[in-house]
Amino acid sequence: MGGTFDPIHFAHLLIAEDVRRRFRLPRVLFMPSGSPPHKDEGEVTPAEHRYIMALLATSDNPHFEVSRLEIDRPGPSYTIDTLRALKAELGEGAQIYFVTGADAVLEILTWRRPDAILDEAKLVAVHRPGFDLARLDETLGAERASKITVIEAPLANISSTMIRGLAARGESIRYLTPRPVIDYIRKHRLYRRDGVAPEPFEETTT
């Protein structure tokens, strides 16, 4: 599951469980982007906060893990580098499914080595109602599009953008993401726009 996860929410978790069941996968690895190549620095919450929220949200599922691979790798988080690093770790025979939003997949031609990505992994594009599926064919061409499995997002009106907006206005984000993530967002004053800066991430020193 590749994404910014700013923050992770129930739709991400349902998608992960659905994909795990559908493709009979032994595990799902959540891969928060370290430095998203197409986003400005400052636009995205510090990676450590996003990583910890992903850990908090997934800790009760034995099939879910969160990877630090992109967070710990310096420079932009290119998907092809991640897939190759995972193959090196798991062995060339490993079958990787790369699950992400259909909006992001539409942009894949602007990513580094798009055709190599399609060779290294089976792409699963998650779309929300309103997304025009024909655009995948039109933008990527029929051959590339045929390598992509498209699935519909459950809880389609939950998005990270929506949660950030509600949190910024001080409104409730209950039932949109697991309770420990809500508590973490509150505690660290993430997404607030009332002049209170989010807490910088501090490593625990022992």
* Pairwise CA distance, residues 182 & 22, whole Å: 29
Residue 154 is a binding residue for ligand NAP (CB under 6 A): no
Site string for ligand NAP, 112-141 (x = CB under 6 A): x-------------x---------------
Site string for ligand NAP, 41-80 (x = CB under 6 A): ------------------------------------xxx-
CB of 201 vs ligand NAP, minimal distance in Å: 19
Residue 101 is a binding residue for ligand NAP (CB under 6 A): yes
DSSP β-ladder status, 64-66 and 28-32 = parallel
Total interface residues for ligand NAP by CB under 6 A: 25
CB of 148 vs ligand NAP, minimal distance in Å: 13
> 162-201: which residues touch ligand NAP (CB under 6 A)?
none
Residue 12 is a binding residue for ligand NAP (CB under 6 A): yes
Q: Which is nearer to ligand NAP, 52 or 196 (CB)?
A: 52
Distance of CA 144 to the CA centre of its chain: 22
- Which residues of this protein are in contact with ligand NAP, per CB under 6 A? 1-4, 12, 15, 31, 33, 36-38, 77-79, 99-101, 103-104, 111-112, 126, 159-161
